[in-house]
Chains A and B, each alone.
Chain A
Amino acid sequence: MALLHVTSPHATSSQRTGALMRQVMLATLPGLAVLTWLFGWGTVINVIWAMLIAAAAEAAVLKARGKPVGLYLRDNSALVTAVLLALAIPPTAPWWLTLIGVGSAIILAKQLYGGLGMNPFNPAMVGYVLLLISFPVEMTRWLAPGAAPDLATSWQLFLDRYPGADALTGATPLDSFRTWAGDASALAAEPILQGRFAGLGWEWVNVAFLAGGLYLLWRRIITWHIPVAFLAGLGLCALPFWLYDPVRFASPLFHLFSGAAMFGAFFIATDPVSAATSRWGRLIYAALIGVLIWVIRSLGGYPDAVAFAVLLLNLAAPTIDYYTQPRTYGHDKPKRGTG
C-alpha cells in the first residue's frame, strides 16, 4: 500500500496565503473605483504598472537567491505591496516614480531582509517614504477632485510627457487645513474643505476604503483589533483638541475620513508581518499609530503622516510584543521578554 506517512493534523483549513492576499487586493477595489471616478485613470495605470514591476523584481531577486520562483510568487505578497503603494501615491505619478518605489519596496525592504515574513518594516510604506523624501515635488502633485483628466492625459502624465503637469495640481484637504489652520475665514473659503463631513471628494475615498475594510473583517482576513484601535486612537486623540480649538485643530471626523486614514487602518497597519502579534500588543500598536498620525498631522511637518507613523511603530512592535504576551492556560501571570 502506498500510504501517505505524514504528521498530524491531517485536516487543514482551506485558507491559503495566496488566497488571503487576493482577498486583500479585492477589498481595495471600492477605493480604487472612487479614486478613478475622482482623479481619472492615473491610479489604475499605476496599479497595473506597479504589479508588473513587483512581480518582475521579486522573481529576479528570488532567482538570484536560488529559491523556487513559482512557489514564492504564488503567495501574492509582492502584488499586494505593489497595489498598496500604487494606491498611496498620486495619480499623476510618472512611470519611473512607481518603478523606483516598488523596486525599493520589494528589493530593499522585503527581499534583502530575507523575503516574506522576515521584513521588520512595512515594504509599501518604506517605498512610499523613500519616494516622498526623494521626490517631494512629484509626490505632492495631487489633482483637484472632480476635474479628472481623461485617459490620454493620464497616459501622458504617466509617461512623464505632460508639460503642464503643475497646472493640474490641487491641494488635498489635509494640505489645505495645514495651510489655513487658525484662520477661520480662510478655512471656510477653501473649496476642498467643504465636503459633507470631511474633505471634498476625499471623504468618499475613505468611505470606500472603509467598506473594503469591513469586507475583510467579515471574511475574517483581518481581526478587529488593529483597525478599531487605529481609528479610536486617531479619533480620540483629535477629539479634545478639536473641542478646545476647532479652528486650529481639525475634527475627529475630518481626521478619520481624510488622507490615508481608512486606508491605513484596514490595509497598511494590518500587514501581519510588521505589526505586533499578541492581542493586546495589536491594540497598543494600532492606537499608538493613530495618536502619532494626529501628532504629525497637526504638529509636524508633513501633511499626511500614516507612512511615518506606521514605520515608527514597526520599530516598536517587538518591544510591544515583549510586554504583551498572553497568559498561558495553567499559569498565573503572563511572561515577559523572550527568556
Chain B
Amino acid sequence: MSLLSLFRPARTESGRKLHDFHGGIHPPQRKTLSSEAPIRPGPLSATLVLPLNMHLGAPALPCVQVGDRVLKGQILAEASGPVSAPVHAPTSGVVRAIEPRPIQHPSGLDALCVVLDSDGEDRWTALTPCPDYRDMPRAELVARIRDAGIAGLGGAGFPTAVKVNVRDSQRIEQLIINAVECEPYITADDRLMRERAEGVIAGIQVLQHLVQPMETLVGIEDNKPEAIAAMRAAAAGTGIEIVTVPTKYPSGGEKQLIRVLTGKEVRSGGLPADVGVVCHNTGTAWALHRLVTTGEPLISRITTLTGTAFAEPGNVEVLIGTPVADLLAFGGVPQPHTGRLIMGGPMMGFSIENPLAPVVKTTNCIIAAPLSELPEPEPEQPCIRCGACAEVCPADLLPQQLYWYSKASEFDRAQHYNLMDCIECGACAYVCPSHIPLVQYYRYAKGAIRQQAAEHQKADRARERFEARTARIEREKAEKEAKRQARLEANRQKSSPATSVAAATPAADPVADLKKAVGEASSAYKAAVKIAKEAEEQGADNAADLRAEADQLKARADELKIALRDAKANAPAAVAPTAQAAPADPVADLKKAVGEASSAYKAAVKAAKEAEEQGADNAADLRAEADQLKARADELKIALRDAKASAPAPTRPAPASPAPAAPPAVSLSTAPESPTAQANAEDEASAEAERAKRAQRMKALKTAFNMSHKQWKEASAALERAERDGLPDVDTHRARVDKLKKKADLAKAQLNELVEAAKADMKASTGTDLKTLKLQAARAESTVREKTAALATAREAGDEERINVLQQELAAAEQQALETARTLKQAVAEQGLSDGDDA
C-alpha cells in the first residue's frame, strides 16, 4: 500500500481500474542477462529422464516396457485417475529403463522415471491436429488436451484438462492469462510473447472457447514493453485485453494477480473458479496452440538459462527430460561449478545438488550463479521484531508470529495466524535484516501439520472400523442367543417325557428324579459299551448292532445329563440344601452354581467334540450349546466374585471347608464317569481324550489345591492370632485348620497321582519322559549358541569356507532346537504338565 496509490488510483490506458495487493518487494530484476537473445533450440541429449510425477495429481502409469522403441510424441505413461496427465516421449529412441532416478525436488530424493535413450533421428509419431476445434464436441477437445499431457507451465503443473473442464454451474467472468513473470532472472514468457505472440493469442482463443468467459485479460508487467507491444498487435480485434500491471514481486502469484486485475479475493482454501476467475499461463496457451495446429503433445518448453556462470545465457526451447547437466554444458557453464544451481527463480526456486535431475514441464528457469552473484546465506540472527516481513507479505499475514510459533512447533497457534495461506513467495525472508530463513520454517510447520492431519485421519478410520466390528460381534452374539433359546425350548419338550419315564422312585423333586435317570442311563450305556467292545474283540456279528445300541444309549444319557444341568441351573436354591446342610449362603450357592455350570460346560464340550469327530449332524448345535454353557459359567463366576467382594471375611470361613472340596469333588465325581463314558471304539481317540481329560483334571486339581492351601494358610494365621490374643475359640480355629490341611493334602495327593499318570503316559506314548525331553531341548539350544559364536569368530576372521560350513551347521542346529522345543511343548501341553511338575 504505497502512499502514492492513495492519491493516484492506478488505471490502465484502456481505463480499467487496477487494484493493489498488500506488501510486495522490488528486488533487482536481472532480466537483461537473458532477455535480449532470441529463443534458440535446446540440445538433444543422449539420455532423457522423464519423471512420472511432473504434474500435480497422481503420477502417470507407464505403458511401455524396457526395450521398446518409441517415436517422438508417443505416449510413454498414461494418466491415472481424474487429476493426472500423461507423459510423452520428447524424441525417438529406445526405453532404457523404468526406475527411480534423481528428480527435480529440493529433497534430492529419487522417483520413478522413464529413461529414454535417444537415437538422434528425432522421428515424429503420427500426429492429428485439430484446427477446427470449435466444431468439436467439448468433451472431445478436453480429452485431446488431456491426452496431450498439457499441464500448467507456470510452476504448479496442474493438469490443464481438469482446469478447463469448467462445470456448467460455474459462470466464469474473467479468463486471466498470467504473463506477469514477476520473478527476477526469468524471461521465458517475455521472449515467447515477443517472438510468438500470434501463437499465444491463438492458444488463448482455445481457452476462451473452452471456458467461455465474459472477458479475457492478459496481465503483463510494465518491465516488458516489447512483449506488451507484440501482444497488443497480435490481439487486435480479438477481444483479448492486454493489461499492464506495475512491476512488483509477487504480482504473478495467482491470488495476487486476480486481486490486481479484478479486485476480487479468492477465499482461503478456495479456488479461483469460486469467484468466477480462471488463470492460465502463457506457456500453456502456446502449448494449446501447438496442439490444435499440429497435434503435438507437450514435449518441450521454453526455459531461461541465466546466471553469470553461463557463457551464453538466454532462453532455449528445451525437450522435457533433458538433464540439467546437459543444459549447463549447452550454455557454457565452466566446470566445476561452485555456487548455486537453482531450478526455478531466485525467490521461489529450489537449489539442486544433483545436476542429473531433468527439466520437467514446470521448469521455467535454470540459474547457475557463482558465489559472487548469489553469495552464501548469512547466519541467522535473532529476530528484532522490526515488522518488515509483515509489511511486505502479499497475503497480509504476520510472518513474525508464524516464525515464532513454527519455530516452537506450536502448530495450533501457527494455524490460528493462517499459516496455510502463505504462498511461500519468500518476500518476508528477502527483507529480513536478521537473515532468518522464514519460508523454511513455514514449510516445516506446514509439513508437520499435514502429517498430523493424515495420522488423525488414519486414527479416525481405524476407530470406525473397530466400532463396526464390535457392533457386528454384538449382533452375532444376540442372534446366537436367540437361536439357543429356541433350541432349548425344543430340547425341554423332548427330555421332559424321558425324565418322567426314568423317574422310577416316587420322589417329588424333579432334580432328584433326573439325577437318578441320568445315573441309570449312564450305567446302561457303560454296560452296553462293555458288551460292544467284547463283541468287537471277538469279532462277533452283532458287534456293529451292539455298538449302535451303545451309541444310542450314550446319546440318551447325554440328553438326560443336559436336562439335569438345566434343571439344576433353573433351581439353584433347591439344589443347595441337597448338596450340603449349610445355611442358605449366597456365596456358597453361587459357588455351587459355578461348579455345576463349569462341569455342565465341560460335559457339553466333550459331547460336542465327540459329535464332531463322528461327524454327527447336531455337532454344530452341540458346539453352540457348549458356548452358551461357557458363557453361563463365566457369568456365574463373575457373580460369585462380586458376591465374594461384597461379603468378605465373615462368609469365607463358613463355606470354606465344603467349597474347596466342591469343585474338585464335582470334577472328580464327573471325572470317573467321563473317561469310561468316553471310551469309544478307537483307542487312540480315547487315549487322546483321556489325556485331555487328565490335563483338565490336573488343572482343576491344581486350582483346588492352591485355593485350599491358601485358605489353610489363612486359617493358620487366624489360629496364630487367636492363640496370641488368647481368644476363646482357639479350638474351632484349630479344627478348621486341620480340616483345611487335610483337604489340601488330599487335593495334592490326587494331583500327584495324576501327574505320575501323565508322566507314565507320556513315557508310554513318546518313549521318553519329561526330564529327558527337557534335556534334549536344552542341549539343542546350547548347540545353537555354540554355532552362533563360532560363526561370529569365523566372520571376524574372514574365513569364507568356515563361514559357509558353520552357516549350514547353524541352520541344522536351529532346526533341531526348534523340533525338540516343539516336542517338549506338545508333550507338556498334552499331558497338562507344567515346568514345576518335575519330580
| Chain B 332-347 interface mask (CB, 8 Å, partner A; 1/0) | 0001111111101011
Residue of A5, A9, A278, A328 with highest tally of chain B CB at under 10 A:
A9
- CB atoms of B433 and A117 under 8 A apart: no
Interface pick from B371-379, B646-654, B824-832 = B371-379
Q: How large is the interface on A (under 10, 10 to 19, 20 to 34, 35 or more residues)?
A: 35 or more
Q: How far is the CA of A35 from the CA of B634 in the complex (A)?
A: 97
| Chain B 347-359 interface mask (CB, 8 Å, partner A; 1/0) | 1111111010000
Pick from B22, B390, B432: contact of A278, CB below 8 A. B390
Q: How far is the CA of A325 from the CA of B398 in the complex (A)?
A: 8
**Any chain A CB within 8 A of the CB of B622?**
no
- CB atoms of B396 and A326 under 8 A apart: yes
Q: A9-B426, A17-B381, A77-B384 are known contacts. Are A3 and B340 too (CB-CB below 8 A)? A: yes
Q: How far is the CA of A338 from the CA of B418 in the complex (A)?
A: 11
Q: A2-B338, A338-B416 are known contacts. Are A17 and B267 too (CB-CB below 8 A)? A: no
Q: Which residues of B contact A118 (CB under 8 A)?
A: 382
**What residue in chain B is nearest A328 (Cβ atoms)?**
B418
**Any chain B CB within 8 A of the CB of A140?**
no
Q: A17-B434, A330-B421 are known contacts. Are A1 and B341 too (CB-CB below 8 A)? A: yes
- CB atoms of B412 and A11 under 8 A apart: no
Q: Which residues of A contact B340 (CB under 8 A)?
A: 3-4, 6, 10
- CB atoms of A15 and B433 under 8 A apart: yes
Q: How far is the CA of A303 from the CA of B138 in the complex (A)?
A: 80
Q: Which residues of B contact A5 (CB under 8 A)?
A: 108, 351-353
**Any chain B CB within 8 A of the CB of A36?**
no
**What residue in chain B is nearest A336 (Cβ atoms)?**
B416
- CB atoms of A11 and B396 under 8 A apart: no
- CB atoms of B434 and A329 under 8 A apart: no
**Any chain B CB within 8 A of the CB of A295?**
no
**Any chain B CB within 8 A of the CB of A65?**
no
Q: How far is the CA of A72 from the CA of B429 in the complex (A)?
A: 20
**What residue in chain A is nearest B266 (Cβ atoms)?**
A330
Q: In the complex, how many angstroms separate the beta carbon of B256 from the nearest chain A beta carbon?
A: 8
**What residue in chain B is nearest A317 (Cβ atoms)?**
B385
Q: Which residues of B contact A34 (CB under 8 A)?
A: none
Q: A3-B352, A328-B268, A338-B413 are known contacts. Are A12 and B385 too (CB-CB below 8 A)? A: no
Q: Which residues of A contact B439 (CB under 8 A)?
A: 7-9
Among B370-423, those with CB < 8 Å from A are 371, 374, 376-379, 381-388, 390-391, 394-398, 400-401, 412-413, 415-418, 421
Q: How far is the CA of A291 from the CA of B307 in the complex (A)?
A: 54
Q: How far is the CA of A15 from the CA of B341 in the complex (A)?
A: 24
**Any chain B CB within 8 A of the CB of A223?**
yes
Q: Which residues of A contact B22 (CB under 8 A)?
A: 326, 329
| Chain B 266-298 interface mask (CB, 8 Å, partner A; 1/0) | 111110000000000000000000000000000
Q: How far is the CA of A19 from the CA of B184 in the complex (A)?
A: 25
**What residue in chain B is nearest A337 (Cβ atoms)?**
B416
**Any chain B CB within 8 A of the CB of A60?**
no
- CB atoms of B255 and A329 under 8 A apart: yes
Q: A6-B340, A13-B27 are known contacts. Are A335 and B351 too (CB-CB below 8 A)? A: no
**Any chain B CB within 8 A of the CB of A116?**
yes
**Any chain A CB within 8 A of the CB of B248?**
no
**Any chain A CB within 8 A of the CB of B431?**
yes
**Any chain A CB within 8 A of the CB of B110?**
no
Pick from B28, B349, B353, B371: contact of A8, CB below 8 A. B349
**What residue in chain A is nearest B348 (Cβ atoms)?**
A8
**What residue in chain A is nearest B382 (Cβ atoms)?**
A117
- CB atoms of A329 and B396 under 8 A apart: yes
Q: Which residues of B contact A272 (CB under 8 A)?
A: 384-387
**Any chain A CB within 8 A of the CB of B330?**
no
Residue of B269, B342, B412 with highest tally of chain A CB at under 10 A:
B342
**What residue in chain A is nearest B441 (Cβ atoms)?**
A7
**Any chain A CB within 8 A of the CB of B265?**
yes
Pick from A7, A279, A282: contact of B437, CB below 8 A. A7
Q: How far is the CA of A77 from the CA of B398 in the complex (A)?
A: 24
**What residue in chain A is nearest B414 (Cβ atoms)?**
A339
Q: In the complex, how many angstroms separate the beta carbon of A321 from the nearest chain B beta carbon?
A: 8
Q: How far is the CA of A282 from the CA of B385 in the complex (A)?
A: 12
**What residue in chain A is nearest B256 (Cβ atoms)?**
A329
Q: Which residues of A contact B376 (CB under 8 A)?
A: 4, 6
Pick from A6, A11, A116, A325: contact of B27, CB below 8 A. A11
**Any chain B CB within 8 A of the CB of A71?**
yes
**Any chain A CB within 8 A of the CB of B18?**
no
Q: Which residues of A contact B269 (CB under 8 A)?
A: 330
Among B95-115, those with CB < 8 Å from A are 106, 108
- CB atoms of B390 and A277 under 8 A apart: yes
- CB atoms of A2 and B336 under 8 A apart: yes
Q: How far is the CA of A9 from the CA of B439 in the complex (A)?
A: 8
**Any chain A CB within 8 A of the CB of B158?**
no
**Any chain B CB within 8 A of the CB of A115?**
yes
Q: Which residues of B contact A13 (CB under 8 A)?
A: 25, 27, 430-431
Among A246-290, those with CB < 8 Å from B are 272-273, 275, 277-279, 282
Among B173-195, those with CB < 8 Å from A are 184
Q: How far is the CA of A118 from the CA of B407 in the complex (A)?
A: 15
Q: Which residues of B contact A326 (CB under 8 A)?
A: 22, 390, 396-398
Q: Which residues of B contact A7 (CB under 8 A)?
A: 106, 350-351, 437, 439-440, 443
- CB atoms of B270 and A75 under 8 A apart: no
Q: Which residues of A contact B349 (CB under 8 A)?
A: 8, 10
- CB atoms of B417 and A339 under 8 A apart: yes
**Any chain B CB within 8 A of the CB of A331?**
yes
**Any chain B CB within 8 A of the CB of A16?**
yes
Q: Which residues of A contact B106 (CB under 8 A)?
A: 7
- CB atoms of B394 and A329 under 8 A apart: yes
Q: In the complex, how many angstroms separate the beta carbon of B435 from the nearest chain A beta carbon?
A: 7
- CB atoms of A17 and B351 under 8 A apart: no
**Any chain B CB within 8 A of the CB of A20?**
yes
Q: Which residues of B contact A19 (CB under 8 A)?
A: 433
- CB atoms of A12 and B341 under 8 A apart: no
- CB atoms of A331 and B384 under 8 A apart: no
Q: Which residues of A contact B417 (CB under 8 A)?
A: 325, 335, 338-339
**What residue in chain A is nearest B367 (Cβ atoms)?**
A10
- CB atoms of A3 and B339 under 8 A apart: yes
- CB atoms of A329 and B421 under 8 A apart: yes
**Any chain A CB within 8 A of the CB of B712?**
no
**Any chain B CB within 8 A of the CB of A327?**
yes
- CB atoms of A328 and B350 under 8 A apart: no
- CB atoms of A329 and B351 under 8 A apart: no
Q: Which residues of B contact A75 (CB under 8 A)?
A: 381-382, 384, 434
Q: Which residues of B contact A15 (CB under 8 A)?
A: 388, 431-433
Residue of B352, B367, B381, B437 with highest tally of chain A CB at under 10 A:
B381
Q: In the complex, how many angstroms separate the beta carbon of B441 from the nearest chain A beta carbon?
A: 10
Q: Which residues of B contact A331 (CB under 8 A)?
A: 268, 418, 421
Q: Which residues of B contact A338 (CB under 8 A)?
A: 401, 413, 416-417
Q: A3-B341, A272-B384 are known contacts. Are A10 and B347 too (CB-CB below 8 A)? A: yes
**Any chain A CB within 8 A of the CB of B21?**
yes
Q: How far is the CA of A282 from the CA of B28 in the complex (A)?
A: 30
Q: How far is the CA of A327 from the CA of B421 in the complex (A)?
A: 12
**Any chain A CB within 8 A of the CB of B259?**
yes
Q: A1-B336, A4-B339, A71-B379 are known contacts. Are A273 and B421 too (CB-CB below 8 A)? A: no
- CB atoms of A10 and B346 under 8 A apart: yes
Q: In the complex, how many angstroms separate the beta carbon of A295 from the nearest chain B beta carbon?
A: 27
Q: Could you pull out 12 A-B pairs where Cβ atoms are within 8 angstroms?
A: A1-B341, A3-B341, A3-B351, A8-B347, A9-B426, A11-B28, A11-B184, A11-B347, A72-B381, A272-B384, A326-B390, A329-B421
Closest 8 CB pairs of A and B: A339-B416, A9-B426, A330-B268, A117-B382, A272-B386, A11-B346, A10-B346, A328-B418
12 more A-B residue pairs beyond the given contacts A1-B336, A3-B341, A10-B374, with a C-beta to C-beta distance below 8 A: A1-B337, A3-B337, A7-B440, A8-B350, A9-B439, A10-B340, A10-B367, A12-B432, A71-B381, A116-B384, A117-B434, A277-B387
Give me the interface of A with B, judged by CB distance under 8 Å. 1-13, 15-17, 19-20, 71-72, 75, 77, 115-118, 223, 272-273, 275, 277-279, 282, 325-331, 335, 337-339
